[in-house]
Amino acid sequence: MSVLLNHTIVHARDAVASARFLTEILGLPDPGHVYHFEVVELSNGASLDYMDSDRITPQHYAFLVSEAEFDGIYGRIQERGVAHWADPGQRQAGQINHGDGGRGVYFADPDGHLMEALTRPYGSGPAEQ
């Protein structure tokens, strides 16, 4: 049997705004609307299904992207003045990391979920310098 992640629910104060924020930053198509969710479709078939909620527990979501996609994502982060960090502890503000010989950046969505774009999976290359 093959087990694949199909979707996860992301709690947001404004599901439409949060889903749109993510699709715009990542350069994805506009979110779809299914039942009471705003659905962000990813290229591997999984989705983030945003749901309006007043109970937000910040989570972490990481997106593996190509070098060219990273350039676009990081450009949009900078253009919009989105706070970003090189590390998940949010100590290296305004920077990116070069883990595993690639590039990575962390940024917060409107509800405080910590999003990450990275070009190399963890453990796939040389240690960060």
Report all structural domains of the chain as residue ranges with CATH numbers, in order of start.
Answer: 7-118 (3.10.180.10)
Backbone φ/ψ region at 27: left (φ over 0), alpha (ψ -120 to 50), beta: left
For residue 127, what pLDDT is reported?
56
CA distance 63 to 22: 11
Orientation angle between helical segments 67-80 and 15-26, nearest 10 degrees: 130
For residue 39, what pLDDT is reported?
98
Contact predicate 115/23, CB 8 Å? no
For residue 79, what pLDDT is reported?
98
Give the confidence band of 125 by pLDDT, cuts at 50, 70, 90. confident
The whole-model pTM stands at 0.93
pLDDT tens, 58-95? Answer: 999 999 999 999 999 999 999 999 999 999 999 999 99
Element of type H or E holding 18 = helix 15-26
